[in-house]
Structure 1
């Protein structure tokens, strides 16, 4: 009887290594989800990954042989039965040693290796992260929640020789079965195409004969990496406090010192007019130009948080400050709950050049795929790098039961 497991951890690759080491190559991934909690304004949230795995029972030849109970005969019969159990256990151990030797040989046409390669391909289809060596031991960070399936009793009374194993936390769980299919049927592909279009995925990404989630994610353009050379300038545009929050997080990810972040633009805060100037915030093109003159001599890159106010004159000020920055790279922070046409118009009103966008609120919208229609590569999803794994989690959350993994 197949056993269903729910594994969780901070790394999807480490979870797969745990599956390989603990449950063998026959395990099959049926669902992968990203779970996020906490955070402020869409940033600084904690995340972990959960995967659901089906583990088939071991083949009959690998199971410990059973010793028939002796219904009568007294002490001599019990001793004879014990001798028979010792012989059976030795045979099982010898068979296991032969199987282990075959596994160490690493034959290319070995069925176990091919089976586990299929499991790894399910993860590679949705992640850009390298997977660890499947021969490594399971990492301690992975924690398994296992649904225990009781053994089925045979017709005759038996005394089973148990197989020792490491203890695990045992919690019964139930999930709907999601059967992966290597080649989706035309009807299933049509249903998935309609479901992805409903959550905002652009038609250009769905223009193919067979629509699969991995195929759609493979065509999502990656965002260019921010510059890391000393003296380079990266400007982060955003409304209200978004630019300041994203710039601080970006500097932390790049491991920059606190003085590498400069503030510019309109005062922050919703309804911020009349709040006065923020100390250290550059509010004129002349101030920015004076700072930019000495910026190349720094031994680190710069991150400029440029706040854009709501009024037309605020956007005009932002344009002049951005020009004075002479930026090497430009990011914009957008709210995914804003209509795509409005987001495009806001970007055009500030600058014709944006290298990447940081999306906030993407997991709170029913149409996360609409962020792919802005026309600018997405660098972050709610403060998390927009890797294929992050996109897979966001789209799967919006699709719900309609998600079909290939």
Structure 2
């Protein structure tokens, strides 16, 4: 009775060579499976093949050897593998070029079938739910219901009483998680000090530099490829990537918008000095924010330093961004108060 074995290799041709070396020319490939490792964000992706080799009983007895990492001697029935492997149609293929090509095409076709999205049936409950949701969005309101923008009178019971204030904005915090990318934008080297403070408070981030800022002991991120590589390394180390991005001088900040957008940050912070003139800070912050908006990038939070060294730190509130970090510590509220 023929015996069956499992072999792995980078290609079916590689498996064929191994089979002939271990079991002789009478060995045949009877089934094959293509295994794909997607890697991390496309990095380190690789393919390999696993095949079932059938060897006549007389040859199997002569070529039986000790087990090693390259060969596991398993008895496998054809029916037991029907649900988990890609089988070659028809009779077992001999270990020749045309048969190998046919097995490769069948493995690729089976893989495409596994990843093909399932069609949505118009008779399914999910399809009906989608139609109902679309209908609710475009349904005209009833005649008795007030339309948007219409004025409605307040109930008599609340006239003369104070209206509850809007809840204060939530204080933003640095985004944590393995492989996440957080960028701090600052003039000169302003962003580096804040990045190191956030790293210490967060238990140790992977602090790097970018833009016009470089620092000894910190890797420099350049372009989308550099950002992706930094993410991949952070996934391995279980860290968040914190990039201190130097904007250069005040007039150069707006020219960095396109480069910042290519880094595709998960969270974007601005670092500002509360001791600088409010008009000067507002000028470059608004110009940079507008340029980033044109690149479809949004600034999420503000980090402030020098607040304790000025009598009017509240001027940074005019930038319109929630404050999450002040003078080396997490902010208690998203806006700064005036110092009396």
Asked if TM exceeds 0.5, the reply is: no
Name the TM-score, length of structure 1 as normaliser. Answer: 0.37
**Higher helix residue share:** 1
Higher relative contact order at CA 8 Å, sep ≥6: structure 1 or structure 2? Answer: 1
The two structures have a TM-score, normalised by structure 2, of: 0.43
